[in-house]
Amino acid sequence: MSLLSVDGLRTRYVTRGRVLNAVDGVSLDVDQGETVGLVGESGCGKSTLGKTILRLLNPVEGSIRIRGNEISDLGQYALLPFRRRMQMVFQDPYGSLNPRQTVETLLTTPLKVHGMGRRAERRRRVRDIVSRVGLPAEALDRYPHEFSGGQRQRIGIARALVLEPDLIVCDEPVSALDLSIQAQILNLLVDLKRDLGLSYLFISHDLSVVRYFADRVLVMYLGRIVESAGHAALWREPRHPYTRALLAAVPRPDPDRPRGPVALRGELSSAEAGGCRFRARCRDAFDRCTSEEPALRTVAPGHLAACHLA
Amino acid sequence: MAPVLDVRDLAVGFPSQIVVHGVSFHIDPGETLALVGESGCGKSVTAFALMRLLPTTARILRGEVWFDGTNLVSASPPVMRGLRGRRIALIQQEPLTSLNPVLTVGAQIAEVIRRHEKLPHAAARRRVGELLDMVGIPEPQRRAEEFPHNFSGGMRQRVMIAMAVACHPLLIIADEPTTALDVTIQAQVLDLLDGLRRQFGMAVLLITHDLGVVAQWADRAAVMYAGRIVEQAPVRPFFRQPRHPYARGLLGASVNEPEGQSGSADSWHYTTRRLNEISGSVASAAGEPGCPFAPRCPEMIPACRAAPPRLEPVGDGLVACFRAAETEVPHVAAVG
Amino acid sequence: MSELAQERASSRLRGPVARDAIPAAPRPGDTLSTGPGDMLSTGRGDMLSTGPGDMLSTGIVPARPGNALTPDARLRGGAVRHRLLRAGLHNASFLVGLLILIAVVGIALTAGWVFPGDPQDMVGTPTLWPGQDPQFLLGTDSLGRDVASGLAHGARVSLLVGVSAAAIGLVIGTLIGAVAGYFGGWVDTALVRLTELFQTVPTFLLVIVIVAIGQPSAAVIVLAIGVAAWPTVARLVRAQYRSLREAEFIAAARSLGYSAPRIIFREILPNAMAPIIVTASVMVANAILTEAGLSFLNMGDPNLISWGSMIGDGRPLLRTAWFLCALPGGAIALTVLALNLVGDGLNDVLNPRSGLV
């Protein structure tokens, strides 16, 4: 049984009379001990997907199962025990911590809310967590504004860990950090996974980071998964034209490997009815792409792609 | 050939601290110099100092900036206003805040043109249409009548580029122009900028934190740390063999493989390789004499704490490090 | 001269090496931020630089790669409040307002000792001018009551009524605004309509109506003013909650399973306090004015002397004994001024845009 199992999930936004399916029929699994990377550009719905899985947003359709338990339709109160199993690390180190709370308050309140341990035990646990994420014990009495971005992100990670979850959804956790700090945080996440047996759903627009960090990668475009493969296979043999374009667009820090020609036309636009939603930007689109939306199908062992030409 | 821009010992300070400690570099006509560094290194302050656009609390403490025969540090405001937009142009990171939301895009570009060249309205409008076409905006005449919020991020940045090249400047300063854009759009925008640079023979000062962008679009790179340039070199020698420990650390911390190792995607995965961390943070050496990178440097020697090293020629470039002459350290072992 | 040599020459520092000033804690937070959840926030510290004014990260300074705290980092926690206080004290108008306020409060507190006895007692010759009789430094009114005693005890009444009414208004307004702002949807719509209903009725008239319905006692007056004043607070608080609920730390709170009351009162409220505090001072000022108006119209508590009632009683003698109106009138004006100055000062200090917080 998978740790997390999502099936046919749909999340809707309604603005000024227009209905937008930010997540439009997504299915994915995260197994115990696995890191699944979710990659896509802005507007593809990956953040919305992450928030829906955590029930910060409510899906209109589909199922979310944690260890086989259906949580997509649970009320906030019934959801409480499941919230311990999955937590989130947020993108913005400056907005994700309550500026008026000390680190200690920030970390002990979740334990209080979930009735975990008595006061002494909570303090012990919080001290332990803080040192695990590489911060000194004195940090507990400080306020968020006294820390740098990287340190704040460590606090955010500590907060996600304090309830001892199985699954952590990381929503662009290093995108706002400098390169050298990125490396620190990624190494920390790797160490925590190993030491605590965590599983990650790692959401990012940065292909390079996802390549490094994930075991399996899902590529998202306009609310749907267009490709799913192990990290090595995705890089060796991308099957979907969008994946290929994404890979080609990442500038390598190597002047001797010049960038290829820009493989995409135009820019992201909302999904047009019927047919493949990528066809407006695809150089290889042909008539079948307009009439029939390609299903996500297996093109190689463990490798799925949603393209008629894959 | 004389450089388009020649910065000599430029120092900039705020009331509480010095942010740029005497940087020197030059840009030749038609070349792209990348100013690379992480946040807090002073690269943006340097760029704004060049154009004399610093906030009122900041001051240029010393130095000269020679541009097209004029020292920009001592130039009068009218002279600077005549240069900005016409001879030097600025492209910033977030076009949403660089463009005036209540004016049409065409009006804003036309404003730049008519400010520096006395063109009648009709001729200016034609130029605007040509410019928008040149930067790849479809239906340029129609879209010139639209407002910034009708454009996507990438399109807005193209509009900014159109404004920047409108008067064929000698130098374009691009401050993280694609950081806020998706990677596929980034490639398009940078290619556009590069193409226009070649077409008009402009020089570009490209400020970025992304080493991939530096490798692909710059001719030379200057790495900044804590307000100082620590290494300066042409791009190929720099990536093949970075000399300054900080530059090496940056490249090691990158998740992308720098060397042209083909295939084997497994070699750059967390299961087989640990990222090279640079421990601590930029503030580590605040207020102390000596090299600002010393507390974080794996190769520090006592001399490093005594005085900050000067930029000296090593190999093809310049390095500010007492130990720069030695060859690079072996890679960190893979994680178990 | 070769290019390289030229470069070497120009890279040589002229003069002595400039010693870095020790960074005086410019925060890793930035001056463009307008609060949590602000989409335009551009952070500093080791985040990607997104604008001019690249400041060196001044987060906790590690002495060694082990990330230990240095001694001066330890001070930084208390330093924030300390800095705010100093900033407040440097603001001249804030200081003036604060001093006046302290004086008025002092007078109100000591009225019982300095002027024992009931200010309504007729203790002297009527209509004495200030200075005429050394026993009554500020004179007497038409009934022979001591003006100075009236002013002192009146200060008590005015401040009590002002603060209590403002407190009631703040509590009601904050509750309604918080609930409306946080939940949105039909709850919000209903509460907004309610707020608008109360706002369309002119405040003073509403107060008069309420007092007319009940008896004119101090308690009813306080209640009436509070009930009339809450809409302003509610709108303010609702706006704060609407923006703060989108903040990432609130999303984090929800993902941790925090209940709505906890989020409203423990997570968001401390962050929404700044404009509430500023509004509070203005509300006290308005309440004092309203109470004075009521008393002037003889609709106040007949058992209490207040500044407004003194002005009302002095009205018939305006031509001859104008000090009977001028003195309490001046007291009101001074107190209201002081409250406004304090409010402005608090706004400057607490406003995140000022760069101090």
What pLDDT digit, counting tens, does each position of B123-140 carry?
A: 999 999 999 999 999 899
pLDDT at C88 over 70: no
- Residue C216 domain-assigned (yes or no): yes
Residue B148 parent element (H or E): none
Structure tokens belonging to residue B104: 């049409």
Looking at residue A258, what is its pLDDT? 74
Confidence of residue C182 (pLDDT cuts 50, 70, 90): very high
Looking at residue C70, what is its pLDDT? 33
Q: pLDDT tens, B276-290?
A: 888 877 776 677 888
Q: Mark yes or no for CB contact A213/B270 under 8 Å.
A: yes
B-chain CB neighbours of A244 within 8 Å are none
Q: Of the candidates B16, B92, B281, which has its C-beta nearest C23's C-beta?
A: B16
Q: Mark yes or no for CB contact A145/C46 under 8 Å.
A: no
Looking at residue B316, what is its pLDDT? 86
Q: Mark yes or no for CB contact B183/A262 under 8 Å.
A: no
144-183 in chain A: CB under 8 A from chain C? 145-152, 156, 159, 163, 176-178, 180-181
The CA distance from A273 to the nearest CA of chain C, in Å, is 31
Q: Which chains neighbour B (Cβ–Cβ under 8 Å, 3 or more pairs)?
A: A, C
The CA distance from C246 to the nearest CA of chain A, in Å, is 10
Tell me which residues of chain C have a C-beta less than 8 Å from any C-beta of chain A. 27-29, 33, 36-38, 41, 43-48, 57, 59-60, 67-69, 73-74, 76-77, 80, 247-249, 251-259, 262, 266-267, 270-271
Looking at residue C129, what is its pLDDT? 85
The CA distance from C77 to the nearest CA of chain A, in Å, is 6
**Comparing A257-266, B91-100, B112-121, C138-147, which segment has the lowest mean pLDDT?**
A257-266
pLDDT at C46 over 70: no
B-chain CB neighbours of C59 within 8 Å are 281, 283
Looking at residue C298, what is its pLDDT? 85
Q: Of the candidates C29, C68, C258, which has its C-beta nearest A145's C-beta?
A: C29
Pairing of strands A4-15, A61-66: antiparallel
pLDDT at C49 over 50: no
Q: Mark yes or no for CB contact C19/B41 under 8 Å.
A: no
Match 């030409």 to its residue by tokens.
Answer: A309
Q: pLDDT tens, B148-199?
A: 998 988 899 999 999 999 999 999 999 999 888 888 888 889 999 999 999 9
Best mutation target among A100, A147, A169 (most C Cβ atoms within 10 Å) is A100
- Closest-CA residue to B274 (of A211, A132, A150, A187): A187
Looking at residue A270, what is its pLDDT? 64
List strand residue ranges (DSSP E) for B82-197, in order. 88-91, 171-175
Domain map of chain A by residue range? 4-85+165-305, 93-164
Percentage of chain A lying above the pLDDT 90 cut: 65
CATH topology of domain B5-225: Rossmann fold (3.40.50)
Spatial contact of A164 and A198, defined as CB atoms under 8 Å apart: no
Confidence of residue B314 (pLDDT cuts 50, 70, 90): confident
Collapsing DSSP to helix, strand or coil, A219 comes out as: strand
pLDDT at C175 over 70: yes
What's the alpha-carbon Rg for chain B, to the nearest Å?
21
Looking at residue A269, what is its pLDDT? 66
Spatial contact of C235 and C157, defined as CB atoms under 8 Å apart: no
Q: pLDDT tens, A156-169?
A: 999 999 999 999 99
Instruction: List the CATH number of the domain containing C142.
Output: 1.10.3720.10
Collapsing DSSP to helix, strand or coil, C5 comes out as: helix
Q: In one letter, which amino acid is A229? A: A
Confidence of residue C127 (pLDDT cuts 50, 70, 90): confident
- Residue C142 domain-assigned (yes or no): yes
Q: Mark yes or no for CB contact B16/C49 under 8 Å.
A: no
- Closest-CA residue to A301 (of A222, A214, A230, A218): A230
Are C221 and C341 found together in one domain?
yes
pLDDT at C155 over 80: yes
Best mutation target among A212, A226, A281 (most B Cβ atoms within 10 Å) is A212
Looking at the DSSP assignment, which residues form a beta bridge with residue B314?
B317
Distance (Å, whole) CA C94 – CA C133: 37
How high does pLDDT run on average in chain B? 87
Are C57 and C100 found together in one domain?
no
Distance (Å, whole) CA A137 – CA C69: 9
Identify the residue with better confidence: A105 or C48: A105
- Residue C285 domain-assigned (yes or no): yes
Structure tokens belonging to residue B115: 């400010």
How high does pLDDT run on average in chain A? 90
Are C292 and C329 found together in one domain?
yes
Looking at residue C55, what is its pLDDT? 31
Structure tokens belonging to residue B22: 């005497």
Are C321 and C180 found together in one domain?
yes
Confidence of residue A235 (pLDDT cuts 50, 70, 90): confident
Q: Of the candidates C13, C22, C50, which has its C-beta nearest B286's C-beta?
A: C22
Looking at residue A303, what is its pLDDT? 93
Looking at residue C84, what is its pLDDT? 62
Looking at residue C26, what is its pLDDT? 33
Name the residue in chain C with its Cα closest to that of A87: C255
How high does pLDDT run on average in chain C? 76
Check CB contact of C31 with chain B, cutoff 8 Å.
no
The CA distance from B271 to the nearest CA of chain C, in Å, is 25
Looking at the DSSP assignment, which residues form a beta bridge with residue B35?
B207, B222
Are C171 and C33 found together in one domain?
no
The CA distance from C85 to the nearest CA of chain B, in Å, is 20
Are C103 and C146 found together in one domain?
yes
Q: Mark yes or no for CB contact B179/C50 under 8 Å.
A: yes
Q: Mark yes or no for CB contact A183/B154 under 8 Å.
A: no
Q: Which chains neighbour A (Cβ–Cβ under 8 Å, 3 or more pairs)?
A: B, C
Looking at the DSSP assignment, which residues form a beta bridge with residue A88?
A169
The CA distance from B164 to the nearest CA of chain C, in Å, is 18
Count of the separate structural domains present in chain C: 2
C-chain CB neighbours of A136 within 8 Å are 67-69
Distance (Å, whole) CA B336 – CA C20: 42
Across the range C101-128, mean pLDDT stands at 86
pLDDT at B261 over 60: no
Check CB contact of C7 with chain B, cutoff 8 Å.
yes
The CA distance from B31 to the nearest CA of chain A, in Å, is 15
> What's the half-sphere exposure (Cβ side, CA atoms, 13 Å) at C64?
3
Residue A89 parent element (H or E): strand A86-89
C309 Cβ contact partners less than 8 Å away, ≥ 6 residues apart: C154, C295, C296, C298, C300
Looking at residue C44, what is its pLDDT? 37
Q: Mark yes or no for CB contact C59/A110 under 8 Å.
A: no
Distance (Å, whole) CA B179 – CA B158: 14
Spatial contact of A156 and A87, defined as CB atoms under 8 Å apart: no
The CA distance from C73 to the nearest CA of chain B, in Å, is 12
Across the range A195-212, mean pLDDT stands at 92
List strand residue ranges (DSSP E) for A149-246, in order. 167-171, 199-204, 216-221, 224-230
Across the range A75-88, mean pLDDT stands at 92
Confidence of residue A109 (pLDDT cuts 50, 70, 90): very high
Looking at residue C87, what is its pLDDT? 63
pLDDT at B324 over 90: no
Distance (Å, whole) CA A283 – CA B301: 56
A-chain CB neighbours of C257 within 8 Å are 76, 79-80, 83-84, 110, 113-114
Spatial contact of A162 and A121, defined as CB atoms under 8 Å apart: no
Name the residue in chain B with its Cα closest to that of A252: B212
Q: pLDDT tens, C320-329?
A: 888 889 999 9
Looking at residue C203, what is its pLDDT? 86
Identify the residue with better confidence: A292 or B267: A292
Q: Mark yes or no for CB contact C24/B16 under 8 Å.
A: yes
Pairing of strands A86-89, A167-171: parallel
Residue A72: φ, ψ to 5°: -70, -20
- Closest-CA residue to A212 (of A229, A231, A198): A231
Looking at residue C6, what is its pLDDT? 39
Q: What does CATH list as the number for A4-85+165-305?
A: 3.40.50.300
The CA distance from C75 to the nearest CA of chain A, in Å, is 10
- Rounded to two decimals, the pTM is 0.83
Match 């994915």 to its residue by tokens.
Answer: A28
Q: pLDDT tens, A240-277?
A: 999 998 888 888 888 887 776 666 766 666 666 678 88
Across the range B243-253, mean pLDDT stands at 89
The CA distance from A263 to the nearest CA of chain B, in Å, is 8
Determine whether C115 is exposed, middle or buried from the number of CB atoms within 10 Å of its CB (0-12, 13-18, 19+).
Answer: middle
- Residue C37 domain-assigned (yes or no): yes
Name the residue in chain C with its Cα closest to that of B61: C18
A-chain CB neighbours of C252 within 8 Å are 88, 90, 96-97, 156, 159
Are C184 and C277 found together in one domain?
yes
The CA distance from B139 to the nearest CA of chain C, in Å, is 31
Are C52 and C99 found together in one domain?
no
Q: Mark yes or no for CB contact B40/C12 under 8 Å.
A: no
Q: Of the candidates B152, B217, B274, which has its C-beta nearest A187's C-beta?
A: B274
Q: pLDDT tens, A112-146?
A: 999 988 999 999 999 999 999 999 999 999 999 99
Across the range A14-20, mean pLDDT stands at 83
A-chain CB neighbours of B214 within 8 Å are 253
Are C63 and C130 found together in one domain?
no
**Comparing B60-69, C82-91, C135-144, which segment has the lowest mean pLDDT?**
C82-91
B-chain CB neighbours of A42 within 8 Å are 153, 182
pLDDT at C193 over 50: yes
Looking at residue A272, what is its pLDDT? 63
Collapsing DSSP to helix, strand or coil, A224 comes out as: strand
B-chain CB neighbours of A183 within 8 Å are 252-253, 255, 275-278
Looking at residue C146, what is its pLDDT? 87
B-chain CB neighbours of A178 within 8 Å are 38-39, 209
B190 Cβ contact partners less than 8 Å away, ≥ 6 residues apart: A251, B177, B178, B213, B216, B217
A-chain CB neighbours of B215 within 8 Å are 251-255
Q: pLDDT tens, A45-58?
A: 999 999 999 999 99
Across the range C333-345, mean pLDDT stands at 91
- Residue A151: CB atoms within 10 Å: 29
Q: Mark yes or no for CB contact C252/A139 under 8 Å.
A: no
Distance (Å, whole) CA B324 – CA B238: 13
- Residue B142: CB atoms within 10 Å: 12
Distance (Å, whole) CA A89 – CA A91: 7
Are C207 and C338 found together in one domain?
yes
Looking at the DSSP assignment, which residues form a beta bridge with residue B91?
B174
Residue span of the structural domain in which C283 resides: 93-354
- Closest-CA residue to B246 (of B307, B324, B146, B189): B324
In degrees, rounded to 5, the angle at the alpha carbon of residue B87 between the alpha carbons of residues C9 and B12 is: 45
Q: pLDDT tens, C213-265?
A: 888 888 899 999 999 999 999 999 999 999 999 999 999 999 999 999 999 99
